[in-house]
A and B are shown apart, each in its own frame.
Chain A
């Protein structure tokens, strides 16, 4: 058989839900009473119809307006040992797909074949009971996730070690701090060894240090020939862990291919990145009768519009605006905000050409350059604005006019050096580093001396 090495094969998987139908309002007391009496029958019919999809399956398109497809005609094949990321915006059907594949919920249409022992990790700590001790919960949770009790016996010490709660292992979990609970839960999950592992966004828990530990552990897992399906919003983790990625949108499979390509595609289409925004009709543009915004653009050094910027390269943001009244002294600026809504900096036009100088009526283009190797990876939202200082007056301030993503291609010549994990901080400058060597046991001063000599 040629498909023996396939782990998962999905064909036209579809899952639909029926949304509640709006109820009729009663317009008289008599009618209300009548409806109250009749309501059990109506409720019964409603409950029944909510989960009956015969009409949908038979393809009768008539009365199907109240049907929502969480998943529609999704087909793919995953080979044994492949590690595949699944990305998409909220409501794209990622979790539904995992739930269908892990048999938590049943598809309405289509079918899938899964070859091998499957475990799904949609949540850590499923089945944890507060009254039970850590030890007991390890057994319970492990078994729920599909481990055999012998397997847990074997890995027990390792699990306890990984969680770092040795001291409290015989204490009821209800006395644990929430962090300890999560660590214990994750320790169990990290020691799962199924042939196929389905993981939903579970890395979002725990402190950063522990997250890293888990990410490393997952990397280990994926290198042992296991098939892994990994749903995440963390694009760094997806590109790092998964060679292949599936992009879902609106319940359908939008793209399937190498992770870096798909992640870029997703960033462009779904995250609402916008390299250019124009207001062709001046009367609707932000601003007042003094000045109005015409356009904002993000460009590379070569002048090309872009929404994805290499972390090493400078990027320019240009603002095109029209001054409608003469003799205005204007202050042009940008707010630069990151994904978490944190304002990273404000850039105010400090070009002496137009500072403290009255501007004639006309069209202006002001450009600011953000250097390379300065900002951290992630998405930046640009909010342009123009003020007058004397008298103080805001003409406009427009949030999220354009946005772009800063990407580190992990080539090793950035501030990351050889590190590929999650890096925090809003800026990422390339700093000068030196390390000096002295023989073992030598005093610090000796090392300093060699250093001074070498200078």
Chain B
């Protein structure tokens, strides 16, 4: 609690703008982003951080293992994948030990998949609050993208341990790590904006969620290497933003060449998803309460 408060304070002081007592709020049927919406996001930053913190705190409340789950969950998956795809199916990994190869993919992947499913459900799970008080609704789908970062940070320990075990030491590619964390966050942001606003209107999204995630697992190079995709399809393949993120993580952690040809199209897709998602979200935002 104290840590959060201190961080908030620091953040506040940095951003402090005098709240104008003469703020004029105009209420009308218009549904598009206006300048006011963005300044409002800054105004409501406290709430945003508290929501993210609430989610982290509640996530492992009343569990015995607590934050260890953030390590255990991806670890078990890595072990299973290593046994099935590394030992049994012998998926080629360009000489990298399969366990390590899998680590570098599953850690960002579990962030992405969890953030996506939480984000797309966020408006529905918080529907009670939506009808009772106003704040920028976009806070909800964005919260998981930040709260899940804590899990992500903790589960990076697995990767570190695996690197030490296999004597793989970081190269200067590691400097790109923050960049890949950022591109990783872009993915659930765009998809979350789309799915959350679609889900309030069409609950079909909830039912489809299971195989959306499953499809993403197999279309992204999680169990296999992107290099096993035939060259003529690679351009199309790179449009999947998750491909760039995972191959990027492998490059920066394991020191393989940085695959910009995957990363750049992926980022472009993410940005397009975020922009269109934000536009659609805004259109839906004002009817959320009536629809939910």
SS of A interface (majority): mixed
Partner of A123, one of B23, B25, B132, B291: B132
Q: Which residues of A contact B29 (CB under 8 A)?
A: 57, 106-109, 111
Check A143/B12 contact, CB under 8 A, given A118-B25, A131-B61, A135-B1. no
Q: Which residues of A contact B218 (CB under 8 A)?
A: none
Q: Which residues of B contact A120 (CB under 8 A)?
A: 133-134
Question: Could you tell me if A106 and B46 are in contact, using CB atoms closer than 8 angstroms?
Answer: no
Question: Could you tell me if A132 and B58 are in contact, using CB atoms closer than 8 angstroms?
Answer: yes
A153 to B58, CA, bound (A): 22
Q: Which residues of A contact B57 (CB under 8 A)?
A: 131-132, 136
Within 8 A of A (CB), among B154-176: none
Asked whether any CB of chain B lies closer than 8 Å to the CB of A326, the reply is: no
Question: Could you tell me if B286 and A106 are in contact, using CB atoms closer than 8 angstroms?
Answer: yes
Question: Could you tell me if A115 and B23 are in contact, using CB atoms closer than 8 angstroms?
Answer: yes
Segment among A96-104, A310-318, A357-365 that sits at the interface with chain B: A96-104
Check A17/B290 contact, CB under 8 A, given A107-B27, A144-B129, A145-B133. yes
Q: Which residues of B contact A100 (CB under 8 A)?
A: 27
Q: Which residues of B contact A146 (CB under 8 A)?
A: 135
B113 to chain A minimum Cβ distance, whole angstroms, is 24
Binary per-residue interface labels of chain B (7-23) against chain A in the complex, 1 for a CB within 8 Å, 0 otherwise: 01100100000010111
Question: Could you tell me if A112 and B26 are in contact, using CB atoms closer than 8 angstroms?
Answer: yes
Q: Which residues of A contact B290 (CB under 8 A)?
A: 17, 51, 105
Asked whether any CB of chain A lies closer than 8 Å to the CB of B216, the reply is: no
Asked whether any CB of chain A lies closer than 8 Å to the CB of B208, the reply is: no
A47 to B57, CA, bound (A): 37
Q: Which residues of A contact B133 (CB under 8 A)?
A: 102, 104, 120, 122-123, 126-127, 144-145
Question: Could you tell me if A104 and B134 are in contact, using CB atoms closer than 8 angstroms?
Answer: yes
Question: Could you tell me if A126 and B27 are in contact, using CB atoms closer than 8 angstroms?
Answer: no
Q: Which residues of A contact B135 (CB under 8 A)?
A: 144, 146
Question: Could you tell me if B1 and A149 are in contact, using CB atoms closer than 8 angstroms?
Answer: no
B109 to chain A minimum Cβ distance, whole angstroms, is 28
A31 to chain B minimum Cβ distance, whole angstroms, is 24
Within 8 A of B (CB), among A44-69: 44, 47, 50-51, 57
Question: Could you tell me if B19 and A117 are in contact, using CB atoms closer than 8 angstroms?
Answer: yes
Q: Which residues of A contact B22 (CB under 8 A)?
A: 115-116
A58 to chain B minimum Cβ distance, whole angstroms, is 13
Question: Could you tell me if B132 and A150 are in contact, using CB atoms closer than 8 angstroms?
Answer: no
Question: Could you tell me if A195 and B21 are in contact, using CB atoms closer than 8 angstroms?
Answer: yes
A135 to B26, CA, bound (A): 35
Question: Could you tell me if A103 and B291 are in contact, using CB atoms closer than 8 angstroms?
Answer: no
B286 to chain A minimum Cβ distance, whole angstroms, is 4
Question: Could you tell me if A143 and B289 are in contact, using CB atoms closer than 8 angstroms?
Answer: no
Check A106/B23 contact, CB under 8 A, given A51-B290, A129-B58. no
Asked whether any CB of chain B lies closer than 8 Å to the CB of A140, the reply is: yes
Asked whether any CB of chain B lies closer than 8 Å to the CB of A261, the reply is: no
A78 to chain B minimum Cβ distance, whole angstroms, is 14
Asked whether any CB of chain B lies closer than 8 Å to the CB of A220, the reply is: no
Partner of B50, one of A101, A107, A140: A140
Partner of B47, one of A104, A118, A144: A144
Within 8 A of B (CB), among A128-157: 129, 131-132, 135-136, 139-140, 143-146, 148-150, 153
Asked whether any CB of chain B lies closer than 8 Å to the CB of A41, the reply is: no
Asked whether any CB of chain B lies closer than 8 Å to the CB of A343, the reply is: no
A116 to B23, CA, bound (A): 5
A44 to B26, CA, bound (A): 32
A357 to chain B minimum Cβ distance, whole angstroms, is 64
A100 to B29, CA, bound (A): 10
A172 to B62, CA, bound (A): 11
Check A111/B19 contact, CB under 8 A, given A47-B202, A105-B289, A122-B132. no
Asked whether any CB of chain B lies closer than 8 Å to the CB of A113, the reply is: yes
Partner of B134, one of A13, A51, A57, A102: A102
Asked whether any CB of chain A lies closer than 8 Å to the CB of B31, the reply is: yes
Q: Which residues does A use to contact B, with CB under 8 Å?
A: 13, 17, 44, 47, 50-51, 57, 99-118, 120, 122-123, 126-127, 129, 131-132, 135-136, 139-140, 143-146, 148-150, 153, 172, 195
Given A105-B286, A135-B1, 9 more A-B residue pairs with CB atoms under 8 Å apart are A106-B287, A113-B26, A116-B23, A117-B21, A122-B131, A143-B46, A144-B47, A146-B135, A149-B46
- Give 12 pairs: A residue, B residue, CB < 8 Å, sorted on A: A102-B133, A104-B133, A106-B287, A112-B26, A115-B24, A123-B133, A126-B129, A126-B133, A144-B129, A149-B9, A150-B12, A153-B5
